[in-house]
A and B are shown apart, each in its own frame.
Chain A
Amino acid sequence: MKVDLKPMEKILQKVWPRAREKHLYPQLPTPQLVEGGEEVALDIKSKKLQISASFLENIKVMMDPEEAVEAVLDHGIAHYMYCPWDFHTHLTLYSEAKKALKDKKMAQKATSYFLDVVANTYCVKERETKLPELYRRLPKEGVQGVLASLYQKIWGVDLGADEEHEEKVRRLARIPYLEKRRWRESIKKFAKVIEDLLEEELKAEQGQDRKAPNPLGEHSLDNYSLEEIDRGLRNFASTVQDLQEFKETVEDLKEELNERGYAMGGMGRGEGNPIDADLLYYMKLAENYTLPIRKLPMEKSGDLHPHSHSPWEVGKPFQDIDPWTSFGKIMPGLTQTWVRREGEVYGEMESTPDCLIIIDSSGSMTNPRERLSYAVLGAACACNAYLKNEARVAVYNFSDAFRGNKLLLEFSRQREAIYRAICRYFGGGTALDLEDVAYLLRQADHPDIFIITDMQITNLEKLIEFFSGIENRVTAVHLGHNVHTVRFREGLKKKRNISLFPVREKEDIPKIVLGKIREYWASPL
């Protein structure tokens, strides 16, 4: 049955400014009324709130439509303004729920319900809201029934919910929903308490081949723009405990990310290559360590020219007096003299040199796909810095090169390919094939070299000899301190173009790499 939207539009126009003011003016576009489903009141698509006219049509026999609209808006705005606020929070909560429940679908549901409880409770406590009135009129089956009982207990209102599941409700009522700092542990407790109900709900959905609708809208990637998703992933990469956690979460959401059009290179480029969670992790993490883009330098042109005037004083030379601005008079207070300056012209931007990254992936180095590898992160930072300034990057990933455990990637600007090369792990012995390095160096004009290794290289002497013969800027970052590092330092101490950094804390690698790049770019070749 087609619903007449006009009266609803009027109500929405009346209620929206009130709701905005109540929530301190969120930066949200004006909500829309849509011919949505009867069971679901609200949908949020990239910040746009869409209210179902059919739902309102049904509810208006039970409740004042203005109050219903305001309640729905309160709920939607609270999701935007409080919980989850951004995609990073959503991911974090999902990740914690997954740890508790070990099942993707259950974790998604638990997260969705948790977000609702927090947002609703926030509205009830902090804002004048008619949400309890709305919930009184909504169906109370399964998890929704338990939540309705929970709301009765923690809000102190009668929603007409049954008193079954008393023990669950008692446990749920002890969770500090409005303490943001404790959301991570809270969602785990929340999820564990309703685990069996979620299982039942999932079974029922499989049986009916239909999702149980959440009356106040689902929570999914559709709620966020691609920009927000990208930013959320970046923040998530820097806050997660380890790579595996990031990987697991992204793997779970791979399908949804692909559907959303989120590709490895960034966003909005349509369905690209399938997302590789490991690469994505290092990409996003490396974005937290970046250098600004190099600016076009200004250079002195070398010759003086009249630039500006300054008042002439007795004792100053006469030859630069400007008779015109001095009105033909030579007297203090009136006469102006030219100040000459060297002209400034735009320098030629020495294009950023290309970069060759030599990364050790022998058995003694961390496997970047199992745990966070700071060596790979450092290489990723170098890669980002050079690519950002339109240089190219080549990669020589080696383990036991003479047995074929090596990967050469020629100079390229393809970020994904470079990351793939950096993240490759061989886990064998440690020997470089210097022919490969020489080959790569020939492909570019004096590229910078970054080598990250633990220096336990079997043909170290050859490497020292090789580096002694080149003039490229070399930054060697090595982990630990041993006879090999001493030998390397001794062998190359006279070479000014080579810097060696021993690293005690692996966490320092990205800073060292970026610090060196900053130094390179500040001084000319």
Chain B
Amino acid sequence: MINPFQEFKGRTSRRREIPLDQILRSKEETLSRILRGYENLLKNEAKDLVWLMQYSTVIKAYTIAEEGIKGIEYTAEDIEEFCYALDKTDQIPYLITGPAGVYISALCNHAKEEEIVLRLQDLNVKINLLGYRLPEGKRLVVEGNVGDFTGIGLDGGELVIEGSAKNYTGAGMKRGKIVVKNNIGFNTGHGMTGGEIVVGGRIKGLGKIVGGKIYEREHLIFPSEEMKPFFF
């Protein structure tokens, strides 16, 4: 039988490569590796797609996340791409915001840049646990709203939320600064022992705070006459 593609014999590809192709390819590769790390985390930590928010599970998840990102060369923009990928179910079949937040925190904490800006305004999902253990010398700016447990265990870094946060913001933070431009939820600063939380809008409720300072609309509301430190 005659080959119906005879005329195309030996037609060499004339597709020109430009640096843009290389940039995009590298970006896709990095994103795949980051995604694989995240899937690995879920496989270990959320076997039945259930993840309980507990002190020990967070620590364990963070450790696995750190393992997963070892050896990956990435930038702040890659972290942002990953956040957007979380929003698309065709790239990530399931999203569990707790482990996702821990994973992103690991990525931010180990990024080369000292300052990371994540533009997350268009994200449909609010990610929990962002800024977990942000170390000293790091500044993480998040444009958009975030979920629960933001900045918990903050370890000297500066976390700026240009939007609102939900509950348990700054819980257990040791040092550093959290700035939230809009409103914040309940149990703010629960268990925090140091550092500052500065809120531009309203705070729905404070948690049991051990140390540090909390400002609401430039007023110091902890420690104050009405709010004394709590001893566990």
So, do A and B actually touch in the complex, CB under 8 Å? yes
Q: Which of A154, A170, A171 contacts B18 (CB 8 A)?
A: A154
Determine whether the beta carbon of B20 is less than 8 Å from that of A125: yes
Measured CB to CB, the nearest residue on chain B to A193 is B119
Stretch at the interface among A172-180, A207-215, A395-403, A405-413: A172-180
CA distance A177 to B18 in the complex (A): 12
Q: Which of A99, A155, A185, A192 contacts B20 (CB 8 A)?
A: A155
Q: Which of B16, B21, B24, B122 contacts A188 (CB 8 A)?
A: B122
What are the interface flags for B1-40 relative to A under an 8 Å C-beta threshold, 1 for contact and 0 otherwise?
0000000000000001011110110010000000000000
Task: Report the interface size class on chain B.
Answer: 10 to 19
What are the interface flags for A135-156 relative to B under an 8 Å C-beta threshold, 1 for contact and 0 otherwise?
0000000000000000001111
Determine whether the beta carbon of A121 is less than 8 Å from that of B20: yes
Contacts of B122 in A (CB 8 A): 99-100, 188
CA distance A402 to B177 in the complex (A): 64
Contacts of B19 in A (CB 8 A): 153-156
Contacts of A176 in B (CB 8 A): 24
Measured CB to CB, the nearest residue on chain A to B122 is A188
Q: Which of B21, B24, B27, B84 is packed against the most chain A CB atoms within 10 Å?
A: B24
Contacts of A99 in B (CB 8 A): 122
CA distance A173 to B77 in the complex (A): 11
What are the interface flags for A84-118 relative to B under an 8 Å C-beta threshold, 1 for contact and 0 otherwise?
00000000000000011000000000000000000
What are the interface flags for A398-439 relative to B under an 8 Å C-beta threshold, 1 for contact and 0 otherwise?
000000000000000000000000000000000000000000
Q: B32 to nearest A CB, angstroms?
A: 15
Contacts of B20 in A (CB 8 A): 121, 125, 154-155, 173, 177-178
Determine whether the beta carbon of A154 is less than 8 Å from that of B16: no
Q: Which of A126, A153, A171, A174 contacts B16 (CB 8 A)?
A: A126
Determine whether the beta carbon of A155 is less than 8 Å from that of B27: no
Q: Which of B16, B20, B122 is packed against the most chain A CB atoms within 10 Å?
A: B20
Q: Is there a chain B Cβ closer than 8 Å to A124's Cβ?
A: yes
Q: B82 to nearest A CB, angstroms?
A: 13
Q: B90 to nearest A CB, angstroms?
A: 12
CA distance A174 to B81 in the complex (A): 10
Measured CB to CB, the nearest residue on chain A to B81 is A174
Determine whether the beta carbon of A154 is less than 8 Å from that of B77: no
Q: Which of A173, A178, A185 contacts B23 (CB 8 A)?
A: A173
Q: B65 to nearest A CB, angstroms?
A: 23
Contacts of B18 in A (CB 8 A): 121, 124-125, 154-156
Q: Which of B21, B77, B119 contacts A174 (CB 8 A)?
A: B77
Q: A171 to nearest B CB, angstroms?
A: 6
Contacts of A100 in B (CB 8 A): 122
CA distance A156 to B23 in the complex (A): 11
Q: A195 to nearest B CB, angstroms?
A: 11
Which residues of chain A from 279 to 310 have any CB-CB distance to chain B below 8 Å in the complex? Answer: none
CA distance A188 to B80 in the complex (A): 14
- B interface: dominant SS: helix
Q: A24 to nearest B CB, angstroms?
A: 14
CA distance A155 to B122 in the complex (A): 29
CA distance A510 to B102 in the complex (A): 48
Determine whether the beta carbon of B119 is less than 8 Å from that of A170: no
Determine whether the beta carbon of B23 is less than 8 Å from that of A154: yes
Q: B27 to nearest A CB, angstroms?
A: 6
Contacts of A126 in B (CB 8 A): 16
Contacts of A154 in B (CB 8 A): 18-20, 23
Determine whether the beta carbon of A125 is less than 8 Å from that of B77: no
Q: A156-B19, A173-B20 are in contact. Are A192 and B27 (CB under 8 A)?
A: no
Contacts of A170 in B (CB 8 A): 77
Measured CB to CB, the nearest residue on chain A to B21 is A125
Contacts of A174 in B (CB 8 A): 23-24, 27, 77, 81
Contacts of B21 in A (CB 8 A): 125
Measured CB to CB, the nearest residue on chain A to B119 is A192
Determine whether the beta carbon of A171 is less than 8 Å from that of B23: no
CA distance A100 to B122 in the complex (A): 8
What are the interface flags for B98-136 relative to A under an 8 Å C-beta threshold, 1 for contact and 0 otherwise?
000000000000000000000100100000000000000
Q: A336 to nearest B CB, angstroms?
A: 48
Contacts of B81 in A (CB 8 A): 174
CA distance A192 to B119 in the complex (A): 9
CA distance A121 to B16 in the complex (A): 12
Measured CB to CB, the nearest residue on chain B to A154 is B20
Q: B114 to nearest A CB, angstroms?
A: 13
Measured CB to CB, the nearest residue on chain B to A192 is B119
CA distance A28 to B23 in the complex (A): 34
Determine whether the beta carbon of A171 is less than 8 Å from that of B77: yes
What are the interface flags for A158-200 relative to B under an 8 Å C-beta threshold, 1 for contact and 0 otherwise?
0000000000001101101110000001001000100000000
CA distance A188 to B20 in the complex (A): 19
Measured CB to CB, the nearest residue on chain B to A121 is B20
Determine whether the beta carbon of B23 is less than 8 Å from that of A125: no
Measured CB to CB, the nearest residue on chain A to B17 is A125
Contacts of A155 in B (CB 8 A): 18-20
Contacts of B84 in A (CB 8 A): 185
Determine whether the beta carbon of A125 is less than 8 Å from that of B16: yes
Q: B75 to nearest A CB, angstroms?
A: 8
Q: B167 to nearest A CB, angstroms?
A: 29
Contacts of A177 in B (CB 8 A): 20
Contacts of A121 in B (CB 8 A): 18, 20
Q: A121 to nearest B CB, angstroms?
A: 7
CA distance A515 to B211 in the complex (A): 71
Contacts of B23 in A (CB 8 A): 153-154, 173-174
Q: A106 to nearest B CB, angstroms?
A: 16
Contacts of A156 in B (CB 8 A): 18-19
CA distance A26 to B77 in the complex (A): 38
CA distance A402 to B65 in the complex (A): 67
Q: B74 to nearest A CB, angstroms?
A: 12
Contacts of B119 in A (CB 8 A): 192
Measured CB to CB, the nearest residue on chain B to A127 is B16
Measured CB to CB, the nearest residue on chain B to A99 is B122
Using CB atoms and an 8 Å cutoff, list the residues of chain A in contact with chain B.
99-100, 121, 124-126, 153-156, 170-171, 173-174, 176-178, 185, 188, 192
A-B contact pairs, 8 of them (CB 8 A): A155-B19, A155-B20, A156-B18, A174-B24, A174-B77, A177-B20, A178-B20, A185-B84
Using CB atoms and an 8 Å cutoff, list the residues of chain B in contact with chain A.
16, 18-21, 23-24, 27, 77, 81, 84, 119, 122
Extra contacts besides A125-B21, A171-B77, A178-B20 (4): CB < 8 Å: A99-B122, A126-B16, A154-B20, A155-B20
8 closest Cβ pairs, A-B complex: A154-B20, A156-B19, A125-B18, A173-B23, A176-B24, A155-B18, A154-B19, A174-B27
